[in-house]
Structure 1
């Protein structure tokens, strides 16, 4: 008799049920949708929902539903009406709300509760967004020169050398000293502290002083480092967004290409990609009536600068505060940042951890200023595009506001919390930007394209037709050539495909056109394994072995050959996954999973089905093979 352990039957049945459940979400198509997100000061409520529905009705645009989902207002439409609805709503709600095209899931709630979700689709299947960004290398150079200027000022203060000015110019830094006798000592100390700078004495009647400049090789290295750093930071931000298989690559000397599969909300993508948000911690010099008087008269202390609170006064006016120009710590000195909710006040915030040097400065400042106020300044730089006289004008909007002004109650250093943010969503986004780091230089969007899902739908349809056609051909061939064992093989192949789709869905893997090719390839590998088994059984029958014994020997001898044949392909798939990027990785994932599932279904599942059919027969005259 054929033997097959009962636990293997139970395992196969369990795998069949789970594979069916977790592959099921892939049958539900996404709805074309328009997503409306509230900007600061706006809300998503029933009034907004009714207004949106009224606008769509008046324009004669049919819609499936208008409902609040995930804190946003989601309008589900037919794909042909998506662009028209987005343009209508964008023109109506510009400023107060962000309107973007999106794709909305239609998977039933009960499937979502067990963690079932559809496979992620690549840019070639689902569409998405394509950005081409220009890195502002001039700003990067100015930023580095400004940092060197601050470093020179600090060196001169430490050495008690008087300086009339330390000025950043287009190609160098001008340093004028108060006394000529301090010149040699100043240049020696600056050269020791910043050896990469080239120092030159001022000539003629320019007075005692010198210039400091980066040599051309250092400038070129800086520009290369800037674009590489921006690309790395963009990858971190996009990975934190959860976009599957993004493409972030350098193009030329100053551009970066970003492709985000499945993302239709270009507004969110641009905010996260292009925005530079950070925090600065500064001492408060004047608050209350003193700050209001300083604003009114314009008499700001030379070491101070005027800022405004995010919160407004009861009459709606802005609240001024004069802060020190000197920064105690800034966002680029953060080691970690996590969004939190203050347990005492319930307000959202960010828990931050500074690096060692910034932590030491914070410790020294708080030790000397207990009982005095310290402000947290939120700085955000957002790229903007305006149409002026029919032409695009690109600019960057800088927002600087005080989100927290609190009295220092005790001494702290590296770890503390910053509260005062408007919403948990803002806290999460700020934590994300702080974790991923500040961009080394600003970037502007040179090119922006939304790749619609229509081409992807055609690709999917062709890919599915290819797989279905190959399956049908294989199924018919096996039924005709191997008869009953052909039916067993077909059942194993179907379970193989079901398992492959289910596992890729659970993993959140991305399927692309190469991924569809990998699935078709694994079908071929699975066919190959089943052919080996069936032919082994036929050889044993021709050798005069009994039918039941031929089945046993055929599976045992073929299993080793199947393993050896697939292990080399599996290693090739692992190499593709480790060293490949984008679509190549998608191909490798589908190939690796397909090989593992095909070996299991061909060797174990098909044997279990054969055991169910022939295992109970003590006397078997022949096999339908």
Structure 2
């Protein structure tokens, strides 16, 4: 009994906490008491945490997908005819990295760039929510990456000729990405720390040797699309065509720099296969219609559960409300990108949560009809209904994993819309198992004393 009380207190705690986290906005209260006006603001909390490369939104806003927020989706085809087969995936990843960088510089928030391989076609799907100049964005992301090496330009202060010259700019040289063979992460350094190795072609070996000889002890900038990627200082003259960029890199930083360099070393022409524009008004209308349909369906379910199962049904509705709070909080914290298929997956998971309650309640009625007391019937109903609930949900989880395709297998689905549906469905099922077996069971133990009472 004491353990059940602890679980009940925990349920109350998370219900209050998650209700607070799901406040719609900063709430302002103002009221006059005995002629004096009292006002205060209850701010919605800001939560800022990061797990690896997985940050949360400090404002705890729902992250809307392209079909709800509006914007543009572009499918690009990467022309790999001039790229060796062994380097095509590396080249595709480099193109994806360059396009992501361009999108960030353009100022588009919440953009996504995904790669896929369909029938030997290397494709990229770029989603740009909230874009208002589609042609300008298309011209930006459709360009082939341009890599060049630039030499430093120094300027002497006329007022102080003896002072050290000041670095004022970098001037592009004749050494370009066409002269670079490849870049890769390496640990072959004195301190065994992550670094980036460069291998030049025969056409670039002599050019690079001249640069390192002329600018020994000075920085040489590496430019991608006219922006500085890195400006390493030349430590010695390099005549072999093999160089290493060292620094206090993390593994992720070294990988990122190598990917960016490969984008210029393996230039891939980009073609636009398709373009789809979605207006924000259409997205709002679709969201409102989906929420209306879901609200009507949920209301019908609540009325049915309360009328058919009475007090047990009402307690199960409380469990569904807690399920909704937990789900909404997880959507905000991860955050989950909400799309119309994703909302459909959530509504389907609600239906499965209700189905689990119905299996338990019908089993409870059967146990009561056999003459068992209320406490015994309640515990037996949960235990004996668990096998059916487990099998049904396990089959759906397996289907959801196949649709979500977490390992990116090319023979399975790679569509973002289908994955959004699968993700919300999987999360909903896992959360519904917790609320059905733990939350609803605990509430029934404390607040339902049998039909006769």
TM-score grouping bracket, smaller chain normalisation: 0.5 to 0.7
**Structure 2 CA distance for partners of 1:435 and 1:118, relative to 1, 3 Å:** farther
Match in the other structure for 1:335: 184
**Structure 2 CA distance for partners of 1:251 and 1:257, relative to 1, 3 Å:** farther
CA contact (8 A) 1:123 1:512 kept: yes
Which of 66, 79, 97 is the equivalent residue of 1:123?
66
Q: Does 1:584 align with 2:407?
A: no
What is the distance in 2 between the residues matched to 1:401 and 1:595? 47
What is the distance in 1 between the residues matched to 2:371 and 2:140? 74
CA contact (8 A) 1:132 1:445 kept: yes
CA contact (8 A) 1:492 1:601 kept: yes
CA contact (8 A) 1:353 1:416 kept: yes
Give the TM-score taking structure 1 as reference length: 0.51
What is the 5 A alignment of 1:244-393? 246=113, 248=115, 258-260=125-127, 262-264=129-131, 271=140, 274=143, 276-280=145-149, 311=168, 325=174, 333-336=182-185, 353-355=196-198, 369=213, 372=216, 376-381=220-225
**Structure 1 residue 504 displacement after superposition:** 2.5
> Relative to structure 2, which stretch is displaced further, 541-550 or 231-240?
231-240
Gaps of 5+ in 2: 27-42, 50-57, 157-165, 187-193, 406-411
What is the distance in 2 between the residues matched to 1:131 and 1:456? 17
What is the distance in 1 between the residues matched to 2:2 and 2:389? 21
**Structure 2 CA distance for partners of 1:334 and 1:229, relative to 1, 3 Å:** closer
Deviations 1:357-407 (A, max 9, x none): 79xx79x959x94984666254444xxxxxxxxxxxxxxxxx599996966
SS of the counterpart of 1:437? Answer: helix
What is the distance in 1 between the residues matched to 2:200 and 2:261? 18
**Structure 2 CA distance for partners of 1:111 and 1:229, relative to 1, 3 Å:** same
What is the distance in 2 between the residues matched to 1:549 and 1:456? 51
Match in the other structure for 2:35: none
Give the TM-score taking structure 2 as reference length: 0.67
What is the distance in 1 between the residues matched to 2:269 and 2:377? 71
**Structure 1 residue 580 displacement after superposition:** 2.8
What is the distance in 2 between the residues matched to 1:247 and 1:594? 25
Q: Does 1:482 align with 2:327?
A: no
Match in the other structure for 1:91: none
What is the distance in 1 between the residues matched to 2:214 and 2:380? 84
Match in the other structure for 1:416: 246
**Structure 2 CA distance for partners of 1:331 and 1:508, relative to 1, 3 Å:** farther
What is the distance in 2 between the residues matched to 1:624 and 1:259? 61
What is the distance in 2 between the residues matched to 1:271 and 1:336? 28
Deviations 1:231-281 (A, max 9, x none): 543444567768576555579999956340535276678656646253437
**Structure 2 CA distance for partners of 1:490 and 1:273, relative to 1, 3 Å:** farther
What is the 5 A alignment of 1:434-473? 434=260, 437-438=263-264, 440-443=267-270, 450-473=277-300
SS of the counterpart of 1:440? Answer: coil
Gaps of 5+ in 1: 30-107, 145-221, 290-308, 313-318, 338-350, 382-398, 419-426, 615-619
**Structure 2 CA distance for partners of 1:254 and 1:605, relative to 1, 3 Å:** closer
Which of 499, 502, 506 is the equivalent residue of 2:326?
499
Match in the other structure for 1:302: none
Match in the other structure for 1:160: none
- Radius of gyration: which is bigger? 1
SS of the counterpart of 1:333? Answer: strand
What is the distance in 2 between the residues matched to 1:415 and 1:515? 44
CA contact (8 A) 1:369 1:408 kept: no
Match in the other structure for 1:50: none
Which of 225, 233, 256 is the equivalent residue of 2:94?
233
> Counting strand residues as a fraction of each chain, which structure ranks higher?
1
**Structure 2 CA distance for partners of 1:517 and 1:287, relative to 1, 3 Å:** closer
What is the distance in 2 between the residues matched to 1:415 and 1:454? 49
**Structure 2 CA distance for partners of 1:227 and 1:121, relative to 1, 3 Å:** farther
Q: Does 1:16 align with 2:15?
A: yes
What is the distance in 1 between the residues matched to 2:262 and 2:315? 52
**Structure 2 CA distance for partners of 1:328 and 1:603, relative to 1, 3 Å:** closer
**Structure 2 CA distance for partners of 1:328 and 1:530, relative to 1, 3 Å:** closer
The CA RMSD measured in Å over matched residues stands at 5.0
SS of the counterpart of 2:220? Answer: strand
**Structure 1 residue 226 displacement after superposition:** 9.2
What is the distance in 2 between the residues matched to 1:517 and 1:462? 12
Match in the other structure for 2:428: 594
**Structure 2 CA distance for partners of 1:277 and 1:567, relative to 1, 3 Å:** same
CA contact (8 A) 1:12 1:605 kept: yes
Match in the other structure for 1:7: 6
